[in-house]
Amino acid sequence: MKTEARQRLLQQLKSGGPQTAAGLAEVLGLSAMGAHKQLQQLADEGLLQWQDEAGAVGRPRRVWRLSAAGHAEFPDRHGELTVQLIRQIRSLLGEPALERLIDAREQDSERRYQAALAGKRTLRSALAALAAEREREGYMARVERMGADWLLIEDHCPICAAAQACQGFCRSELALFQRCLAPWGQVQRTEHQLAGARRCAYRVSPHP
């Protein structure tokens, strides 16, 4: 439910950046208990993240910030603009030009991911490094164990609008994961947002 207090809190974090519960309570005129309750509820909804930061003295302070989903609560025309650009490239330059654009993005991502995975000795550590890179890109990525296999889960897709306009982006990402994780295991997509799933998930099976 979008209450006024909830929206004011999200707005303050959007405009003021990461803040403590005490700081938010003071700025918004809330009680400490009321601020904590609102923050925890928003975190449960996936709109906020928190991190404990050590201070010079005393206990660590908990700092709250918007998650990728929290930022998505605010009006954003980036998706609409991206779709327009894709359509214009396809119309003016043709499908081959769009494929070259996707390939260039894929190569740039692969360089960054391979650098992050360099020196990793196990599938678990490689997946953790890859998930950290994807998290920084806004995919809300995490890793879970699934028997002998692993799941790379992405709860949010920041390029969803682009992927809907051109599914080459999704094909590119699957191929990218398969190449980057090839030394440790095999990758298959098991859940796909564009196919109606609530998230994207990739099952990674270690080599025998």
Mean pLDDT of the chain: 88
**CA distance linking residue 164 with residue 195, whole number of Å:** 10
What is the model's pLDDT at position 75? 63
CATH T-level topology, domain 4-71: Arc Repressor Mutant, subunit A (1.10.10)
Round to whole Å and give the CA distance between 117 and 148.
21
User: Does residue 146 register a pLDDT over 90?
Assistant: yes
Residue 127 class from Cβ within 10 Å (0-12 exposed, 13-18 middle, 19+ buried)? buried
CA dihedral 108, 183, 116, 131 (to 10 degrees): 90
Q: Which helix (H) or strand (E) holds 81?
A: helix 78-92
Q: What pLDDT does 2 receive?
A: 58
Instruction: Could you please state the CATH topology (level 3) that the domain comprising 78-206 is classified under.
Output: Muramoyl-pentapeptide Carboxypeptidase; domain 2 (3.30.1380)
Predicted TM-score of the model (pTM): 0.62
Count of Cβ atoms closer than 10 Å to residue 184 Cβ: 21
- pLDDT category, 196, cuts 50, 70, 90? confident
Segment 169-190 shows an average pLDDT of 95
3-state secondary structure of 64: strand
Of residues 163 and 67, more confidently modeled? 67
Residue where the block lists tokens 């051109």: 166
Tell me the per-residue pLDDT of 83-125, one tens digit each, with 9 for 90 and over.
Answer: 888 889 889 999 999 899 889 989 999 999 999 999 999 999 9
pLDDT attached to residue 1 = 46
Each domain of the chain, given as residue ranges in start order, spans: 4-71, 78-206
Residue positions counted in the chain: 208
